[in-house]
Structure 1
Amino acid sequence: MRKTSNLYSIKQNSQEPKQFRGGEKKVMKKSLSLLVAAAMTLSTASVAFAADAQAELTTQQKFDALKAAGVFNGFPDGSAGLEKEMTRAEFAKVLTKLTELAENSAANVYSDVAKTHWAAGFIGAATEAGLLNGLGGGKFGPSGKVTIEQIAKVADLVAGIEPDADGTVSGVVSPWAKGFVAAAIEAGLLPELPTYKVNAKRGQLVEVAYELAESLGELSVVKASQTGAKAITVEFSRAVTAEEKAATTFELKNGLVPYAVTVKFADDNKSAALTSAFLPAGDYTLTVKGQDPITVKVVDEVVTKLEIGATVLQKAANQDLKVKGLNQFGEEVANAVADANITVFNSKLGSLTGNKIDLSGADIDSAVIVTAFHPATGLSVTKTFKVVDPASATNIKLGTVVPLKDETRISVGKAEGYVLPYTIVDQYGQAVKLSGAPVVAGNKVTINGIDFVISDTAVVTPGSFKVNADGVLTFGTGAKAGTVVITAVNSKTGATASTTVKVEALPALKTFQISQPGVLLVANEAIKFPYAATDSFGAAYAQKDVKAATDALNDADPATNFNITSSNPAVTVAYGFDAKTGELNLTFTGAGQTTLFVWINNQIASQLNLDVKAAATPVKVLGLKSGAATSVGINGVADLTIDQLNVVDNYGRAVTKLPTGWALKVVEAADATAGVVDYAAGKVTGKAEGTEKLAISLTNGGADVANSGIETTYTTVKDADIKSFAIEAIGTLYGGTTGHVAGHNATVTLVGKTASGAVIAIDQSRFFTAITSSDLSVATVAGTTVTGKGKGTTTITVWNGATKQAEAAVTVSDAAPVITSVAFDPTEIDYVAGLNVAAKLAVKDQYGVAIDKDGVFASSDKAKATVTQAGVVTKVAGATGSVTISFVSVNGLVSTIVVNL
């Protein structure tokens, strides 16, 4: 795609240091083109090459330089056409030449640009490179123009300038472009103009391109020198762009010893400070990526100045003299002045410890003479003070308390952490920093002689006030919501300040709008209902958080609750939220019209009119499902249960499980050939070669269901017609040890196939002798039973002697079993003494295997019937009607069963 170019040789100064680009020269070119591509939804572009800044060039001269590089073309008469506008097609050429792309007319996919169009190759190349986009509808708009504000946006991005959202633009500009235009003007990329919404002239584009060339010219290191005891500063020839910073590396060595450095760029990005934990004196080699190594001389720090920083000394203990030594870089030198190097004179001095003197016994207005001496350099400094009254706060300001990180409000129940901002100034104009342990007395907290009074200690707790080593004052909230006033008072000076803190209750469920599910409502079936909920602050709940919100209401005092009820006593309702997704499922008992009420805190939050249909019943067998076996080998057995049949209910929906009392009736058809197959207990067994019709219908309580059946033909295939074999699919097995049961194992079943590919159930005892596993760490085989052992995939192979009959891959997971489905069967039952609904409950894991019934049973009306946690239901004497017994698993899955009393 790329070809060579002398673009970057235009007007270069041979005296410049080696060019630095954050990588190779072509990498910089590529990075610029990517910046342009990221910026452009319209065709606007930039030019980047080294510019001679020694003299101001005219627009014509700048154009000539660009023309010489092949970026711009002149007109046939030799003119530059600087007052003309530039089209999108012309910009495609500029971009292609600028980024050194090869023309590619094959990549031109636009319906309004013919393959013979002069710019087809440029448009294709720029489009393929991601520099240009079409206008939509498969069109490019080659004759379209580019506005000045569009140029501003791209110029900012190429130059690495952030849009100035607060900048002012005197000319007419679109709202979206204001920040870009303001930033471009500030950076000198654009002049101030009456309007920026007009099409750009070629001359204006030349000026912007040339300015970018100058600002994004060859980046180089101008200087590198020691600027601190542990710091070296690198200065660049211009501001470094964000992309260049990301690509820049710094390596500092003293001989062969590398020194790790922390890099921080200056605000103007024209320099970078390199800081190391330790820089002993010596000549260092600094290598900036893309530059020749630079030698930097590092010297040891020396004390060049002593300073007594105290401005006033008070009649008090621990008066800090703030004596320090500064090095040649103006930095404080650690341990520059020891205790013996400081002398203090006053007629009534206390002890001197380090930089602190006890003046609690000194007389007011008496002189204190402080002298500091540095023996190694002979430097000394003297300063005279007059003892003044002890500091006392004369001005106090309290700031606004803000929420904790990641919070939107100040909430109850936060034991600590809220910052109480303060500014305290003494009579000498010095800031006072609080310190020490707060002293609590009732609603008053005293720190350093300043009393903080809390108007309501149930809202803000006095005992929670703390001051850290930096003087930051924090507190916590109590269990009560409300508005509290915190007042700071210095009783000695009368200085006072107050701030108000509003402490909110924790968010609670406030609104719950339930909606129509858009499906048929049938009794005894769990139905998903859509809803929307908000909290007490009006914020919408994520659906996954609603269950916790309803639980919080129901766990609180009786005045707070959440419930869903039915207006029709004949149509009861039970609800449950999925613990993970928050989906709401409702199960109705009985049929008829009803109004559904959602209650929050004993108030109706929403309501919905519903028509619940009677419980579904199976009505007809339509036929066998696709893939159900209708052919068997001699003594081969094929399943014939509802799982192999298409059965529908009275609402035309598929039935996957027959209700209690219902059964399939399978008999020979009236004109059947006897003896070909036998049917018993859901199995069809092949007996003799041939075909036989079976009649399949439904019964309810032993009675035939009229017009519910079909006839289908079964074939018994002789052994010689079975040409190949396959293993029936085995689902994912569990291979861990926690909770592993026999149900997690799988049985290998071999099936035959005829020449046409038809699957045949065969006699398992006659066609194989052994089964093996390719990886015993994943699964083992005993007889026909496969047992998972560890996570992975293994190949199960069925053998007949030394002949491989079939093989199949089996996946084993080590994910521990968890409850993924709960279901009562039946969903409605009549009460009898000792009724145990747990026996009617199927609880399965993700492998489809029965798992422990960990969860809670509950009755919808304890005044009618109770249920133990073992699932035993007990009717209350004299109760009539029905109750709904719910089971909620430990992970929030719900199923219900109606008990008729």
Structure 2
Amino acid sequence: MRKSHPQHSQHPKQFRGGEKKVMKKSLSLLVAIAMVFSMFATVAAAATDTQSKYNELKKAGVFRGTGDGSAALENEMTRAEFAGIIARLTGVTSSGTAKFNDVPSSHWASKDIAAVAEAGYMEGTGNNNFAPSKNVTLQELIKVAVTIVGLEIDEDATVDGKAGAWAQPYIAAAIAAGLIQPLGDYTVNATRGDLVDVTYEVYQVLQNIAKVTGYEVVSATKVVVSFSDGGKVEVELDEPLKLGKNTITVTYNDREYKVEVEFEATAATAKQVGAKTIEVAFNKAIDDSKVKFAVKNGIISRDVAKVTVSDDKKKAIVELTTRLQNGDSVVTISGIEANNIEAKFQAEDERVTQLKFKSDKLALQSLTDFTKAKVGFQVLNQFGEETTLAYSPNFVVSKAGATASAANGVLTVTATNTNPFYLNEQVMITGYLSVSTYVVTFSETLSVGQPSQIDSIEFKGVYHDDNKQLNTSSKFEDFYVLIEAKDQYGNKLKATDVQNGVLYSVTNPMIFQIKGIVDNKGPNKDQVAIQLADPVYALGYDGTNTIRIQSYSGKTFTYDVQVPKAATVAKIALSAPNQVVASNDDSVKIPFVAEDQNGNRITKYSELKDKLEVLPSPLAGSTFALKEDYVTKEAYLELTLPNNLNVQYALPVYLSVRIKNSAEVASVQFNIEKAWTPESISGLKDVASDLAVNATVSIEPKHVVVKDNYGRDKELKDLFPNYKVVIEPVDNTWDVIAVKADPTDALKSNNELTFDGDKITFEGKVKGSERVKVQLVNTAENKVVYSYEGFIFNVVDKSNIADYTVDDIPKMSNKANREVELKVYGKRSNSTTVQLPKDEYSVTATSGLTYDENTGKLSANGINGGFDNNGELKAKVVVTIKATSQTIEKEVVISKADLVPTTIELKDSGNLKGSNGVIKGPQGDVANLATVFQALKIKDQFGFEMNGANPDEVNGAASQFNATVSITDEDDANKSMVVTNNGKSADTVTIAGVEKGDSYTVVFTSKASGVSITVKVVAES
């Protein structure tokens, strides 16, 4: 096998039969070849530095010297020696030996001759001979050099000098390129010196071919290879890299390279760099299109708000929604490797460390009042950020009679009329911040300077809270141009300072106007912004409108805002409902697609309500309307069916929607079928079929799978009281299992499900199998509609159990109402398990842990001593299997830690329905955050739902959560909602002016643990 070596071009193609090949080489290649052949034009000059060239080639391993170690530049060289030099120069090799008659396999140069012959660099002398001992001629040297560097030739070319017919095309190509002077005889032998000069120039050309200089593993399937000419190639691999060394193939500039790549598993380290920020560093570049981050701070999972990956893909900044608290923490990274990567770090509580003035100047309030001067200040945490903690600095001023007051990050120093400020006066300001258990002091000398004035304004772009795009139909007041204004001291200015210090205007008030300059805008609600306003007359003018701001000092700042033409509804299409519509369905959504003039879909209700006309439904008693999904704010078409619609045959319905001010009408026709009825039971779901003797299992309405006559799933609870489910043995005799009576209701039929919350409990009596029939019964007619007979209970006794096992016991709390069920199982030979009845085993526990035989639960309530420095103690639970006397020991950790929220879910509460991040309900209920809070299912670190009314669970009360409400104009179309006590305790936050269809977003955050949940709240009625 021949090892490929990067060549300057492909091997020369051979052309026969008179076909001519025109030379087409680049200038750079011609220059390179000119270097190769320059020795032929001035042999004497080239020979003067031949020794140094030889030395370099010998060092590179191309030449090896003669027997006595000398260069012997005057000597001639055999074809065998020449083959060795060419093989070493180009790097070609062969796994075999030469195939020429006169080169036996034992010949010292056999492999080199084979390699150069296979590569096409040298040929035989005829009759399959190579003539290894024959000296190399000048024409042979020319041909090999031309072949290596890839000069294309004309097969029919000839030369005047003496040369073999085979050599003349190569010599002619060199002459035609102006690379050599014609010679009288090319058949003379070449000396070693000639060969050194030619080889050296070819060596230089080959060295100019791009080489692999490095690589970067982006992922297991992506590698970026770098080359000596500055180029890079990104290689997507079909097979992922394996740990350790890998060889990959990369093509660059029409050349193929084999690159050895070292692949190591991705590792990461993490450190806290801000109150809510973590820096994650990787040992190599990552694929940021797939990576995901999860953060656990102590026992609390923190929500990730934003991730920023560095340009080199080796670092990520992870920003959280809430600040970190002191404790062992971990960042879990997924999407990079097959297994998750963990980076542990020690988080610390945020603390105030510094008060920093924003300038070294106390700016006079005005040049007519020298009694007041101001300076901005920041209170920073240990990470150099503005702190999120509450603080109240105390300031002391060195100037006699002066007083200091602070508000909104600005210190105002007021001097007396008798001792006013003067320019460049030095004023020392000292003070302290008392924070929790420590004090931060500060002292700085400032000089009195000119009044603050606007020095620069930087425009940051157009902003909308919901990332809407500005166009001619926009509500302009919802759009802002964010700016950053600074005074001559580098202080950032608030909206009031800007408003009072500039004149502003627009070049075309027919497009939009300026309403004013406001604070607290932008993604983080911390930027100054220019609020836009509707144009002077009607909406609809598009184009460029330039905002012009001129400071009182004469500086002018401009910003161009592009307002494109708004999209209009140009096309609409209706489709038939995706499922059967039955006459007793309440309503049905009609699928539709609306598009603008550019073919983009329009889905928002606000963008369609005034542009579509829904034509009345021809079905008497029905309504057809365009409605709004209050959660997504998207539009949907809904046909509400009349009550008591009773059809015996398919009833066709024809519905239409028209684009206003247009002839475009979309219609759809479909059938309303006869009423649906519950028709069958297709099985039981999530019901254990295996149980031990004396063990029990219950079936509830949620376990029964009901289908209607159209094959649609129906909830059994929605069929009560017109239908019920009765479960009986197929053979009409309870042989293996029995129905347990309900001790709370002696009159109840214990094998029937008749209301939501009902259940049937079965107990295993003897070993064996019992097939049951699950019957759907029409209660009015007392008629079985359908009987499902595919469910079998299998009851096992001690003889069927091969082994026993006990579930691990989770960490327990010593607080009340935190009992943990002890689950003991028998394992069958087929690996299935059955939960044992409580009388089949006994339980003992240590360290004050107790076990209730009636409930089967463990309790740590009342354990008050024996805890270690971490507030934990270890206890043992020993389970003894009565049938075998086998003992199974489990260790349990008991904690005395305060109960704190760790996970929050949504649930139904009163009139409120909570699921999938949304709480819906009447406007009166959603207006009170304390009521909304009841729809949160808050669990502590032990997995129990918290009841804030209990003393140990007070951290789960609304008063122990802060609630921050966000309202956009889209949420509150009439701008009627007003929030009181926003950001304070959830039990004190109220929202006035809530109307039907209004919505808002609220973030509930635990004061104790920092865990939070973001909820969309919708007033449905």
Same fold, TM exceeding 0.5? no
Q: TM-score, normalised by structure 2?
A: 0.32
Q: TM-score, normalised by structure 1?
A: 0.36
